[in-house]
């Protein structure tokens, strides 16, 4: 009996110790997480079931005063300060370019589109808007009176700096 191989018992003991250690680790991590749990934010879709068919909420009213607003951060695409309802934006037609293309800005009074919109991905300047910048509403959105979806306490660094003076 003394010469029996007990390696199976040793392996089982190691597995049991590993399982107990893993359970303790999960318990400790769960306790830490519960103390520092992220705040649960209400779903943007409201209380409706995610798989039910719900009517879309009404669109926010566009602000059409043609006033340009300050950008919130560097490199933010400018917000569209006029109505774009029924604007045609297809492969053949881009109504935005009727006013914002360089040769039309003097007559329309609209700001010219950025020079970056004429550069291809290799930095080469083209004669017309590059295809990857052709669909304006991929980056630019119409200004509306929509309420923010989540609270925002952002303060511009320039505003904070001017308050310290």
3-state secondary structure of 31: helix
Q: How confident is the model at residue 12 (pLDDT cuts 50, 70, 90)?
A: confident
How confident is the model at residue 21, as a pLDDT? 86
3-state secondary structure of 100: helix
Does residue 68 contact residue 109 with C-beta atoms inside 8 Å? no
The residue whose two tokens read 């602000």 is: 63
Angstrom distances, CA of residue 29 to CA of 24, 39, 84: 9, 18, 51
3-state secondary structure of 19: helix
- What's the pTM value of the predicted model, to 2 decimals? 0.59
Tell me how far apart the alpha carbons of residues 96 and 138 are, in angstroms, rounded to a whole number. Answer: 13
Percent of the chain with pLDDT over 90: 21
């Amino acid at each position: 009996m003394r010469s029996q191989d007990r390696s199976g018992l040793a392996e089982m003991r190691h597995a049991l110790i590993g399982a107990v250690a893993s359970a303790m680790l999960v318990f400790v991590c769960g306790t830490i997480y519960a103390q520092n749990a992220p705040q649960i934010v209400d779903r943007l879709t409201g209380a409706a079931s995610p798989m039910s068919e719900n009517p879309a909420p009404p669109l926010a009213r566009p602000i059409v005063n043609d006033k340009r607003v300050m950008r919130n951060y560097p490199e933010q695409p400018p917000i569209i300060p006029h109505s774009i309802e029924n604007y045609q934006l297809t492969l053949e037609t881009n109504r935005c370019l009727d006013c914002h293309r360089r040769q039309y800005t003097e007559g329309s009074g609209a700001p010219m589109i950025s020079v970056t919109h004429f550069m291809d991905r290799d930095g080469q300047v083209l004669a017309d808007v590059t295809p990857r910048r052709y669909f304006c509403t991929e980056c630019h959105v119409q200004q509306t009176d929509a309420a923010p979806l989540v609270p925002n306490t952002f303060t511009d660094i320039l505003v904070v700096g001017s308050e310290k003076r």
